[in-house]
Amino acid sequence: MGHRVAIAGASGYAGGEVLRLLTGHPELEIAAATAHGHAGAPVNQVHPHLRTLAGVDFTATTVEALSDADLVIMTLPHGQSAELAAQLPAGTKIVDLGADHRLVDAEAWSAYYSGPHAGAWTYGLPELPGQRAKIADATKVAATGCYAVATTLALAPVLAAGIGSPEDVVVVAASGTSGAGRQAKPHLLASEVSGSLTPYKVGAHQHVPEIKQASGATSLSFTPVLAPMPRGILATVTIRPSTAGLTGDDVRDVLSAAYQDEPFVSVLPEGVWPQTGATLGSNSCHLQVAMDADADRIIVTAAVDNLGKGAAGQVVQCANLMLGLPETAGLSANGVAP
């Protein structure tokens, strides 16, 4: 029998994608799918694409509904997971996709989120040096924010290699609307989003302290842009070089070395630029590099599916590690295209 996984917040976008991945997973089975407003509703009614879950209903998000599982995945709004997690038996394995347990620094938490700081769990990005083993040993893992995944994967090896300045990093990143969740919000109306690109939370995005913590950057300008598409993130990260005469090939060598054994991170062939469409439905991050000689900046561009490697895919990747399963089980590096 497979490991039993409960999903708290399974009626949302990220939870729905976790359900989809679990229906195709060889070793994991769904112990419970819980919801808030949709408690009692058939899963098929809320997620009509999940045909094999016909006959399964969402239950309410309670301690009882989650206690029986081998591992609990939480895809709840910020501020909802910490209290619930604290009520579960101490040894319960949990992967939390919300932000409640990501930040070590309580001041940074207070600057960007509301409510008390719940403390930090093991950070769920296995591609960071040393992190894979920590995740495998952990009972509690804080999965990564969607922009933070793309940006950190592009940035961290450059800073770790000492070829870029941690004090001078600029990121502009576009996201599809599913990154904002499924709750009705006026700025997400089709009439507002269609045919338009909109910056938001300019200079004030909650992923800034998370990216700094994960990548080692000390000063970071981050501008997110809402894009008229349901899924995908394209992050363009530029960094001031800290060594003279750096070439694009030097940067490419650093990233290629960092990710040569990674199943889900690809440095694309020279001249091929990441596109969100190529990552859809996958757990992949695609990277490409260039040197802007005129501006003297390293450019690294990253694409992910915000619901894939940006959310449900990385959560399943962490769950696999925590349960001693092959890290890639139930996940694909291949996307859906066109």
**183 touches ligand NDP by CB under 6 A:** yes
What is the sign, positive or negative, of the torsion defined by CA atoms of 139, 145, 150, 156?
A: negative
Of 1, 99, 105, 12, which Cα lies nearest the Cα of 58?
12
109, 110, 116, 121: CA torsion to nearest 10: 10
User: Can you read off the two tokens belonging to residue 123?
Assistant: 């950070």
User: Can you read off the two tokens belonging to residue 27?
Assistant: 């070793």
Instruction: Judge whether 318 counts as a catalytic residue.
Output: no
Query: Starting from the edge strand earliest in sequence, which strands make up the sheet with 140-142, in order?
Result: 59-60, 28-35, 3-8, 71-74, 93-96, 140-142, 122-123
User: Of ligand NDP, ligand X2W, none, which one does residue 15 interact with (CB within 5 to 8 Å by kind)?
Assistant: ligand NDP
Catalytic residue among 7, 33, 72, 146, which? 146
**246 touches ligand X2W by CB under 6 A:** no
Binding mask 6-45 for ligand NDP (x = CB under 6 A): ---xxxxxxx-------------------xxxx-------
Distances in Å between the alpha carbon of 283 and those of 33, 247, 279? Answer: 22, 30, 7
Residues from 223 through 252 that contact ligand NDP (CB under 6 A): none
Residues from 71 through 110 that contact ligand NDP (CB under 6 A): 75-78, 80, 97-98
User: Of ligand X2W, ligand NDP, none, which one does residue 241 interact with (CB within 5 to 8 Å by kind)?
Assistant: none
Q: What are the beta bridge partners of residue 290?
A: 299
Interacting residue ranges for ligand NDP, rule: CB under 6 A: 9-15, 35-38, 61, 75-78, 80, 97-98, 145-146, 178-179, 181-183, 306-307, 310-311
Mind telling me the catalytic residues?
146
Instruction: Catalog residues that contact ligand X2W under the rule CB under 6 A.
Output: 98-99, 145-147, 175, 179-180, 206-207, 224, 226
